[in-house]
Each structure stands twice: as structure tokens, then as C-alpha cells.
Structure 1
Amino acid sequence: MSVDPARADLDAIFRAALTRVDPYRMIVDHLRLDGSRLVASFEGACHEEDLDGYDRVLVLGAGKAAARMARAVEQVLCDRIVGGLVVVKYGHAERLDRIEIVEAGHPTPDANGVAASRRIAALAEAADARTLVLILISGGGSALLCSPATGSGIPVTLADKQAVTAALLASGADIGAINCVRKHLSALKGGRLLRLLAPARSLALILSDVVGDRLDVIASGLTSPDPTTFAEALETLVSYKLRDKVPAPVLRFLEQGADGHLAETVKPHDPILPLTTNCLIGTNLAALRAACTQAEALGYRPVPLTSTLTGEAREVAKALYAIARDVRDHGLLAARPAFLVAGGETTVTVTGSGKGGRNQELALAFLVEMARDPLRGQGLHLLSAATDGGDGPTDAAGAFASTASLDRARAAGLSLDAALCDNDSYAFFNAIDGLLRTGPTLTNVCDLQMVLIR
């Protein structure tokens, strides 16, 4: 099959965006040693620590990008690091000299995640006022550090947390709602890691996979105050009609917390908060800007739409298609050749029994709109992809959609509407060679939706 020039351009643009938010590069470029001073400078903000004021430097972390972050920190600090432990998704580990990297389950927590969480908790509790702790946080950290909260007399098990996570993911709940529940069932989230670290000083380096870059939501706010409450976690289950679908111990635990019988997560103005500094090192907006730069280098007029895109994937696809068609037909926003790009994270409410991810579903819904267009999407080419390389429970980052996709689907006898109804986007795009497979990218800053108008 010959290479489609538009598809090749989309692939090149996406990979340029990934390069910009490579966590290794972000840390090596912005974290440095100046004598005994550790200097962190990101997005105009600068923080310094005099390492002569500490006896040791410890590194802890979790997330899909944490291995690359750990490698960079080792390069910058070398033998000043006494050790550390970082938890990553299966297939994301690297071998380092001073920092141990272990693997665990994502997006559904598993026993390895519980064991790793307990080890990190023990290391945190052992840190004293003469210890500087570097904490490496990226998307996926919430599922990877999954040790259940204790102290209620109601044992919440790993299986209970797995069931809640699966139910929330299938319900179409956004990451904020999911993490609100996770925080209140966790031993480390919602700032609770800071309680274990005190009186140690900590510097958190954070790669955002959250729309709006809220520190309390990224990895469920391991080092940030939590504005949500037990009552809100309980209400989340109600609003997504999950109250009767989650394990009974989970419901009783949240009810006990909502009644004031359990300690809340760390709140703003807690006296332990000055002991930590949070540095945001990479965002979706940075990836979006890099995509625009690469598109312009390829001869397209870039039109950045937003870095905070949310909503049901198939509804977002309709809106994106309408914008692209207006650019094509009427020259709105830009003349051709143009490049539209949006970033963020959509959701999928699963009603079928198929397999896919939010980006593949968005691309399939975009194809449905193409099929309804009298011009059958002529001149429009979409790539919707996850920057971490994993879209849902599949081996694909996302999918391409174009008129050529429609032609291949017709030749294969595939029904767009049937595939969309069954949430079976993966099988559909796999059959027409429409998937983008990058493998693990070892970064994670949400998704990019990119449209070329030629």
C-alpha cells in the first residue's frame, strides 16, 4: 500500500509534538546543578535548593512517564542520589544505576501496585528533615499507587478498588470524577503522601495528563491539597448511577468518611504544605504548540483550537468535523492548506461489547460525518491519538480518518454505524490499516486531535 502524503504529514506532526514533551528532555533542559544548588526552572518559574543543607537525596515517583523522568534526574544529580523507587506501567521500565523502577497495572490496579505503594510509603516515612525528596509524577500514577486507605475498620481490598475503577471507566466519568473517588480510597493520594514525608522537604516534578493542568487531579494529587471530600466521592457514584454497582465495603467506607468518622485528604492551608514545591514541567499546550510549529514547517497554516477539549468522543467528532468543513468550504479561520489542532481528553460511554479507545472512537465518529458529507470528506484528513501511545485497552495510540478510509471500509464490507454502536473502533480501523501504533512513548500529556485541510 502506497504511503498517503497527508497521513505521513500527520504522523510527522504528531511525533514532533511527542519530542517536545519528552520527559527526559524536559528535565535535562530545565533541571541543573550549579555548584551545590539544585535549580529547577520551568515556564518562567524558578526554584532552588541548596543540597549542602541535606544529608541525602531520595527519588520517589509514579506514572507512565516516570522512567524517563528518573533517567534524566539520575543524569543531572548523579551520585548525590542515595536511592529511590519509581513505579511505571508494564512495558515502561528502564534499568537505572541508583533508582529502582518497578512495574504495575494500569489502568486497572493490581497487586504489584499495592506492593509498590507500600514500599514507597515506607521510604517516605523513613525520610527526615535532612532528606530532600524528589517526586516524579505523571499520568497513570493514580492507578499505579493503589494501596487502599486503612483505619476505618472496613477493609477495602484491591479487588474492590479494581471494581470501582472499571465501573468508573465504563461509565464515561471524566478523570476528575474518577480521581475524586480514588483519592478517598487511597493511602497516598489527595496529599496523603506529604503526611508520610513530613518533616522531609520535597520537590515534585510533574508532567500533566489532565485537562487544565490541575495539580490536585494529576495522579490524584499525591503532593497537592485536595478540594474534594468524601461526600463528593459518594455523590460521584450517585451521579454516574454506580451506587448499586460498586462493592459494599467501598460504599460503607465512603459513607463513614462522609459522616465525619475518617480523616479527610489534605486540605488547602494544611501546615505540611510549605514543605513541598510543585513544578509543572510538561503540558498538552506545549505539545499542541509543537504540532503547530511542525505543521507550519510542512507548509500548512496552523489553527490551534484549544488545549482543554473535553466531552463525549463522538459528539466532539461532530463539532470538529463541522469546523473542518467550514475551513474547507468557506475559508473560515484559515485558507487551505490548513492544520486544525485541539488537545485534551474526551470520554466514551460504553454501551457495546467491542474494543477501542476514545481516540479511535472519535476517529470513527469523524468518518461517520464524512460519509454524510456530500463531498465524502474530500480534502479532510484526521489523526486522533493519545500522547502516551495507548488508547484504551489496545496496542494503538489512535487512528487516521480520511476519504481513503471510507473507500477501504466499503471494499471490506464494514459498517461504520454498526462499529460505532458496538464501540468496536479498534477492529474497524485494524481491518482498514487505519491504526497508529507508536508503542509506549514514555510521556503522557493527554491527546491530540489534528485535521489537515488540503
Structure 2
Amino acid sequence: MTETGDRSGSTPTDIARAAARAGIEAAHPEAVLQEALAVDGNRLRIGGRRYDLADYDEVLVLGGGNAAGTVASHLADRLGSALTGGLVVTDDPSPAGPVETVTGTHPVPSEANVEGARRLVERAAAADEHTLVLAPVTGGGSALLAAPVDGVSLADLRELTEALLRSGAPIDRINAVRKHVSAVKGGQLARTAAPATTVGLVFSDVASDDPSVVASGPLSPDPTTYDDALDVLAEYGVDAPASVLDHLRAGADGDVPETPGSDDAAFESASVHVVADNRTAVSAAREVCREAGFETLVLSSSVRGEAREAAKTHAAVAEEIRRSGNPLEPPAAVLSGGETTVTIRGDGTGGPNQEFALSAALELGEPAVLCAVDTDGLDGPTDAAGAVVDERTVEDPRRARSLLADNDVYDYLDERGALVRTGQTGTNVNDLRVLLVAE
């Protein structure tokens, strides 16, 4: 449960951790879907739309992503016998009644991902106008719903994914490439499921909340093209496998059909609802800080760019608060979300939130606390969600800067007890940061 009430005996570090925890809990499917869905007998309401479950021969759950397992579990509990089956691909499985769960890997796809996506596509293709498809689409779906096009092997898809993740490209640009080497992304799941009634339940892990970017938009029209995908590879110096380049060039030449755009008939029977996003987490974290006596400000829920550089701006805000009382008088809490990136040049261990935290700690010249976490509980390829730091975390700036340069901050933060470990959280609405400046 989220902690509330008097925190007069808590330290700023305690409060920052509690605020981050509250943000994660607020974005969990159990909390979100209790509000977003209403079930009254055979009647289901999602947003402003209503569905009579008795009108359908089948009610299926088909989707993928970090939170897809917990979404499927919630739907199974709420819909009971009205839910007839389905399949989700996730790295965080949960019992979901008649819905089959395929456990895959993230952020790099595996054979399990490919097989799960293949079976999901088969289930979608078998749906007809008497089928209602409830489709969880969550962060992590780009890797978990791995359905490479003919001619692109799993090994090549893995190589492409790793190169894109190292490149420092923003997620919308990365996904422009992934859409164009997939049989499910970029609106193609909606095309496959048509004419079934398909309802997307989106947990947004992208700064824009654009459903065409979340999990590479399997249910959304794709505004990007094969030319865009080739431009991303060139701009970020991504050395893609030959099979990928051959496919993208064939698409750019018109020899391979483009992903479906907004005029495609497939979207006439598909709707998408963003049921949780980064603001969900930020708002809950802000409330914890308020209850602890801090004046609060949401800096942005769309912070992006290189993690270590964005961190310097947050440290500068803390300095300004301390020195001038602008934009808030201390005790002050500044919250932000979004998704920063890391351009990998070294061979160490860490993640964007860990690099964000250590970079901020290097800049904090006056008392302040910063907690930075990924709401899915896994920051980069590590077991930590992120880290919490203050102005005392770094005693040896030269070593800290060297480790940052080598993308090797995990052990350094662990030695100082700064890592935040939550385990997989069952949700994914991007990064969350809590910056506290006490009196």
C-alpha cells in the first residue's frame, strides 16, 4: 500500500523513496483499471465506450509488454466467465484464468518472444466480426512482440535491437525502424485482427503518450515510413545486418507494402485507450511530497535526451531553489518524468536512471536528494530500478566521472547503498524522478 500521513520523522531520502514507490503503485494495472474499466454484468465500459459482452461469440485478451501479464490477470478477475481466452507475451507473468501467458525476454528478443508473437498473430487472424479483442499494449512490447518479417532472422533482429539501444536514439526513432522489420508492429496487429472489435489498453512508457510509439504501435496507424527507418540508421550510425538493410531498401523502393496508415480500413474496428501514463506516477509521487510538507512543482513529464546531461539541469534547479527560492521556497519537491537515453561508449553496467542519479550527485553542491527510477523496476540490463543520491554520495569525483564515461556506474552506486531495488513492478510508465530540497 502507498504510505501516507505524517512523515515528520522521515528523512528526505525516506520521503524520496516513498514518493517513487507511490508513483509506481499508482500506475499498477490493479489501481489503474479499477478506475478505467467498469463491469456491470455483461456490460463493459472503457472510457466513453460501452460493449455488451453477450454480443460476442468470443472475448479474447491478446497483447504484450512488461505489464501485459498483470493487465490480463486483472481482466480475468473482472470479466470472469465472459472471458473466453487469449494470449499475452510478457517478461512478468501472472495467472490470468483462460488467457495463456508466454514468458519472453526484454529488452532483447528471444526465441520465446518470436514463438509467442507468432501464436498471438495466429489467434488474431482467426478472430472475426463476432470477436471482442481486449489488447494490453505496454512498454516493453516492442521486444516482447517480436515477429520479424520474412528474411530477417532472430539473430539479426537481436543484433539490430542491441545496436539501436546502444545508439542513444530516442524511442520514437528506434521504433520507426522496428516497425518496418515486423509483422505485428506499426498497426499490423489491428490489420490482422480486423474485422474483430479490437480495444487497446495502453500503458504509455513514452514521453509523447503517442500510442503509435508505445510498443511500436501494433494497433495504431503508422506515420513513419521505410525511408524514415533508413534515415534513423544513417543519423545514429547504426550498423544494421544486411537482411535488415535489404528489407528496408526494398520497402523504400516500393517493393514491399508500407505499414498501414490512418486511412487503412483496419482501424475502423479498432480503438485505443491510454489508461495510464507518466503523469499517473508523477501525480501520486507529488501527493506524497505534499503530505510530507514540501511545496511541489512538476518540472515536466516529458524529460528526454542524454541522461547525464538532463541530470545537470535538475541539479541546477536544486541550486536555484536553495540560493534564491526560485521557483519554490524550500522545503521544495521538484518532480519529473519522461525517458532519458544513454549513448553507450563503454562496456560497463548501469542504466539511464543510474547514470542520471550519479551525474546529478556530481553536481549537487548543496543539500538535496534525488531519486530516479524506471517504473518497471529494471533500469537497463540490471536488477535495480534506479538510485537515490544526495550531495554526499560522491566523495571521489574523478573516479565517478571515469565510471560515467565507461557507462559503469552500477557497482559504484551499490557500494554506497544508493541503488533502489523494487523487483519487476507489474507496470511500465517510463521514468520517475523526485528531487527534494529541505529547509
Structure 1 length-normalised TM = 0.93
> Displacement, 1:27?
1.2
Aligned to 2:367: 379
Any stretches of 5+ residues in structure 1 without a counterpart? 371-376
Asked if 1:305 is matched to 2:293, the reply is no
Asked if 1:30 is matched to 2:24, the reply is no
> Displacement, 1:324?
1.1
Q: 2:71 aligns with which of 65, 69, 72?
A: 69
Matched ranges for 1:290-329 at <5 A: 290-329=284-323
Aligned to 1:215: 211
Asked if 1:179 is matched to 2:181, the reply is no
Q: Distance in 2 between matches of 1:108 and 1:395?
A: 16
Amino acid at match of 1:103: T
Secondary structure of 2:199's aligned partner:
strand
Aligned to 1:373: none
Amino acid at match of 1:192: Q
> Displacement, 1:391?
0.4
Amino acid at match of 2:342: V
Query: CA-atom RMSD, angstroms?
Result: 1.4
Aligned to 2:401: 417
Q: Distance in 1 between matches of 2:422 and 2:217?
A: 28
Secondary structure of 1:355's aligned partner:
coil
Check the 8 A contact 1:25/1:72 in 2, yes or no. no
> Displacement, 1:418?
1.2
> Displacement, 1:95?
2.1
Matched ranges for 1:321-360 at <5 A: 321-360=315-354
Q: Distance in 2 between matches of 1:391 and 1:35?
A: 41
Asked if 1:105 is matched to 2:99, the reply is no
Check the 8 A contact 2:128/2:196 in 1, yes or no. yes
Q: Distance in 2 between matches of 1:281 and 1:419?
A: 39
Matched ranges for 1:59-208 at <5 A: 59-89=61-91, 92-150=92-150, 155-208=151-204
Q: Distance in 2 between matches of 1:5 and 1:282?
A: 30
1:187-237 CA-partner distances (Å, limit 9, x unpaired): 100011112111111111110001110010000001000000001001110
**Structure 1 range deviating more: 263-272 or 26-35:** 26-35
1:252-289 CA-partner distances (Å, limit 9, x unpaired): 11000000000111101211211011111001011111
Amino acid at match of 2:143: A
> Displacement, 1:30?
2.3
Check the 8 A contact 2:17/2:388 in 1, yes or no. no
Structure 2 length-normalised TM = 0.96
Secondary structure of 1:188's aligned partner:
coil
Q: Distance in 1 between matches of 2:345 and 2:266?
A: 44
Secondary structure of 1:382's aligned partner:
strand
Secondary structure of 1:206's aligned partner:
strand
Check the 8 A contact 2:202/2:272 in 1, yes or no. yes
Tell me: CA distance 1:82–1:138, structure 2 relative to 1, closer, same or farther (3 Å). Answer: same
Secondary structure of 1:124's aligned partner:
helix
Secondary structure of 2:12's aligned partner:
helix
Q: Distance in 1 between matches of 2:11 and 2:128?
A: 57
Aligned to 2:19: 13
Check the 8 A contact 2:301/2:336 in 1, yes or no. yes
Q: Distance in 2 between matches of 1:5 and 1:414?
A: 28
Check the 8 A contact 2:200/2:219 in 1, yes or no. yes
Amino acid at match of 1:37: R
1:311-345 CA-partner distances (Å, limit 9, x unpaired): 11111011111111000111001111100111100
Q: Distance in 2 between matches of 1:84 and 1:20?
A: 26
Asked if 1:434 is matched to 2:436, the reply is no
> Displacement, 1:378?
2.7
Q: Distance in 2 between matches of 1:333 and 1:233?
A: 41
Q: Distance in 2 between matches of 1:271 and 1:362?
A: 44
- If asked which structure has higher relative contact order (CA below 8 Å, sep 6+), I would say 2
> Displacement, 1:35?
3.5
Aligned to 2:233: 237
Identity of aligned residues (%): 41
Asked if 1:274 is matched to 2:268, the reply is yes
Aligned to 2:4: none
Amino acid at match of 1:445: V
Check the 8 A contact 1:386/1:447 in 2, yes or no. yes
Amino acid at match of 2:265: P
Q: Distance in 2 between matches of 1:16 and 1:414?
A: 35
Amino acid at match of 1:346: T
> Displacement, 1:29?
2.6
Check the 8 A contact 2:331/2:437 in 1, yes or no. yes
Secondary structure of 2:115's aligned partner:
helix
1:163-209 CA-partner distances (Å, limit 9, x unpaired): 11100110101111111110000010001111211111111111000
Secondary structure of 1:345's aligned partner:
strand
Secondary structure of 1:400's aligned partner:
strand
Q: Distance in 1 between matches of 2:156 and 2:61?
A: 30
Check the 8 A contact 1:367/1:416 in 2, yes or no. no
Q: Distance in 1 between matches of 2:244 and 2:69?
A: 32
Secondary structure of 1:132's aligned partner:
strand
Q: Distance in 2 between matches of 1:449 and 1:210?
A: 15
Amino acid at match of 1:270: D
Q: 1:396 aligns with which of 384, 408, 417?
A: 384
